Structure formats: structure tokens, C-alpha cells
Amino acid sequence: MECNRGKVVSCPSDQMSYTNRVVVNKADYPLYDKNRNVEITTSRNQKYVFTLEAIDAMARGTMGFNMPMRKWAELSINEVIDVRLYTFNPNTQFVSKITLSVDYMQKTAPNSESYDTDVMAREFSMQFPRQAFTVGQTYLKFYFYYYPNTDIQYVFKFIDKKLLKLVVKDMEVLTLDGMKGKAPKEPQKTRIGQLLPDSQVVFEKSEESSIILTGQAKGK
């Protein structure tokens, strides 16, 4: 794909905002079904990697970013950006383990409700398959519909919603050469990576957060 251009706009709906993807019109991206990851270059010549989400209702030539994504990438509404398809290197950018710090999106009074990180990890992998992540991202939102004393949580339900902010703290990759025995099997670090179906997902409580995490997918 040659360099394309897009105009930054707000995400068209809350539902689309919670995908944490850039919303576009599929007609602008002929290779969308093969590769949904792009690298944008801002007017300040800064580069960021995102995953696309296509809907027919999106005006052609526009790209919908939610507010946390715009804040993280320092994007302004109506800013024109350059866009190229981005292909992950399977030997250096396929994530074997991602660690995320967790906090409430909105600060609330402390409560005794806990979050099962094993369920969170499963739902996270299901919600964000093959998605691009960058260490330091602070735009992630995660909704849970929580049934106390059961093993059920659903992402992006709006009854008794719990809105969490997830920050990518660390990512490790196990290289293909390492898996083939051609190099040390110790995981290497990456700043930008692609989540895989079998990536290990670990949650850590943010500093000074009152959130309570339980389960085996809980880090420090």
C-alpha cells in the first residue's frame, strides 16, 4: 500500500470507541481483509501503530480515534496524517507475554469488589486478537459486566459496567528462531507488538490504585 492520507475525527460512537481501534471506511483500505494494522505519521512527524476497524457509516477519508488514543498520539481533530500498512515481523514482534497495569478509568471510593484476572485475560485475548500494542499506551478501555461469585464477565456490556484503564507496561516476544532452537529461548523485549491468540496476558495493579485483583494472571 502506498502512503494514504486521512483526516482525524472523533470516534463515531461509544461502542466503536471501546474497540480501541481506528475507525475507517473499508473502501479506503483495499487490503483491509488481509492486513488491518497501519502506521500513521502525524503532522509533528511522530509515528504510531494502530489497528483498524471498518464500518460503512464512516465518511471516506476520515479516521476515527477515541479521546485516549488522540491524547496519547497528540492528535488534533481535523489533523491530516499519513497512513501506511504496517506488517509485523514474526521473528521480533509477535507477543508471547503482555503485562498491563490496571486502574479504574474514573477514580471512585474504595470498594471490596475483586476482579478475576484469569477471566480478564481470556476476555482480553478474545476482544483484541491480532491487535497492535505499544508499550506506554494509556488509551485502553475495558468494560466488564460482572456477576459476583460466578466465573462470568463480559466485555463491553453496559449493565453494572466497570470501566477500567489498562496501560501496556511490558511486552515479550519469543522469536521463531528461538522456538526452532537456533537462538536462546529467553524472551526478548519489544516496544511494538501484535497480540496472538496464545499470548500470555498478565495484569498488575497500578500504583496507588484501590482495585483488587485475584487469580493466576495477576502479576506483582
In a domain, 198, yes or no: yes
The pLDDT of residue 150: 43
Domain check: are 122 and 145 in the same one?
yes
Q: How many domains does the chain have?
A: 2
Domain check: are 144 and 191 in the same one?
yes
AA identity, residue 157: K
101 has pLDDT over 70: yes
Full residue range of the structural domain in which residue 30 is found: 4-85
- Residue that is last in its domain, among 85, 120, 149: 85
Mean pLDDT lowest among 88-102, 116-130, 144-158? 144-158
The pLDDT of residue 26: 95
Domain check: are 131 and 172 in the same one?
yes
CATH code, 41? 2.40.40.20
- Output DSSP code: residue 94: B
- For cell 506483582, the residue is 220
AA identity, residue 153: Q
- Residue that is last in its domain, among 58, 85, 112: 85
Mean pLDDT of 136-151: 58
In a domain, 99, yes or no: yes
Model pTM score: 0.85
Strands 47-54 and 192-194: unpaired
Residues 4-62: tens digit of each pLDDT: 899 999 999 988 888 899 999 999 999 999 999 999 999 999 999 999 999 999 999 99
- For cell 480478564, the residue is 120
- Residue that is last in its domain, among 63, 85, 107: 85
Alpha-carbon distances of 90 from 80, 132, 143, 178, 179, rounded to whole Å: 31, 13, 30, 12, 12
Domain check: are 45 and 117 in the same one?
no
In a domain, 114, yes or no: yes
Mean pLDDT of 197-212: 90
26: Cβ contacts below 8 Å, ≥ 6 apart: 32, 54, 55, 56
Q: Which three cell numbers stand for residue 189?
A: 523485549
Strands 212-214 and 95-104: unpaired
DSSP letters, 34-68, are T--EEEEE-TTS-EEEEEEEE-TTSPTTEEEE-HH
In a domain, 149, yes or no: yes
Domain check: are 175 and 111 in the same one?
yes
158 has pLDDT over 50: no
Domain check: are 208 and 114 in the same one?
yes
